[in-house]
Amino acid sequence: MVDLFDKCRQRSRVDDAKEAGIYPYFHALETRQDCEVVMEGKRRIMLGSNNYLGLTTEPEVIEAGIKALEVYGTGCSGSRFLNGTLNMHIELESELADFLGKEAVTTFSTGFQSNLGIISAIVGRHDVVICDRENHASIYDGCRLSFGKLMMYRHADMEDLEAQLQKVPETYGCLIVTDGIFSMGGDIAKLPEICALAQKYGARVMVDDAHALGVIGKGGRGTASHFGLEDQVDIYMGTFSKSLASLGGYMASSREAVEYVRHVSRPFIFSASITPSSCAVALASLRYLRKHPERVDRLREISAYHRKCLRDRHVRIIESETPVVPIYTYEEENTLRKARELFDAGVYVNPVITPACAEHECLLRTSCMATLTESLVEEADDIIASIIPHEE
Could you tell me if 237 and 372 lie in one domain?
Answer: no
In a domain, 170, yes or no: yes
Could you tell me if 175 and 304 lie in one domain?
Answer: no
Could you tell me if 124 and 224 lie in one domain?
Answer: yes
H runs (alpha helix) in 101-167: 111-122, 137-145, 158-165
CA distances to 220, 286, 323 from 61, rounded to whole Å, are: 18, 10, 22
AA letter at 268 = F
Could you tell me if 286 and 337 lie in one domain?
Answer: no
Domain count, the chain: 2
Q: Which of 245, 261, 291 is the last residue of a domain?
A: 291
In a domain, 392, yes or no: no
Could you tell me if 101 and 227 lie in one domain?
Answer: yes
**C-alpha span between 272 and 262 (Å, rounded):** 14
**C-alpha span between 5 and 352 (Å, rounded):** 28
Q: For residue 345, what are the domain limits? A: 6-57+293-387
- Indicate which CATH number applies to the domain containing 257: 3.40.640.10
Question: What is residue 10's predicted lDDT score, i.e. its pLDDT?
Answer: 93
For each successive 10 residues of the chain (392 residues), what is the average pLDDT?
Answer: 93 92 94 97 97 98 98 96 96 98 98 98 97 96 96 98 97 98 96 98 98 98 98 98 98 98 96 97 98 98 98 94 96 96 98 87 96 98 93 51
In a domain, 334, yes or no: yes
AA letter at 102 = K
**C-alpha span between 135 and 373 (Å, rounded):** 31
CA distances to 94, 371, 373 from 222, rounded to whole Å, are: 17, 20, 24
How many CB atoms lie under 10 A from the CB of residue 156? 19
In a domain, 191, yes or no: yes
| SS3 of residue 204 by DSSP | strand
8 Å CB contact between 120 and 266 = yes
Could you tell me if 347 and 219 lie in one domain?
Answer: no
Question: What is residue 389's predicted lDDT score, i.e. its pLDDT?
Answer: 80
- Indicate which CATH number applies to the domain containing 49: 3.90.1150.10
Could you tell me if 297 and 255 lie in one domain?
Answer: no
- Give me the half-sphere count of Cα atoms (radius 13 Å) on the Cβ side of residue 50: 19
Could you tell me if 83 and 132 lie in one domain?
Answer: yes
Could you tell me if 304 and 361 lie in one domain?
Answer: yes
DSSP state of 142: H
Could you tell me if 69 and 118 lie in one domain?
Answer: yes
Look at residues 332, 367, 368 and name the one whose alpha carbon lies nearest to residue 351.
332
8 Å CB contact between 220 and 52 = no
Could you tell me if 200 and 273 lie in one domain?
Answer: yes
The H or E element containing residue 238 is strand 235-239
In a domain, 84, yes or no: yes
Q: Which of 244, 260, 291 is the last residue of a domain?
A: 291
Query: CB-based contacts of 381: which residues, under 8 Å, 6+ apart?
Result: 306, 309, 310, 313, 315
In a domain, 1, yes or no: no
DSSP of 277-336: HHHHHHHHHHHHHHH-THHHHHHHHHHHHHHHHHHHTT--B---SSSEEEEEEESHHHHH
Could you tell me if 205 and 228 lie in one domain?
Answer: yes
Q: Which of 268, 291, 314 is the last residue of a domain?
A: 291
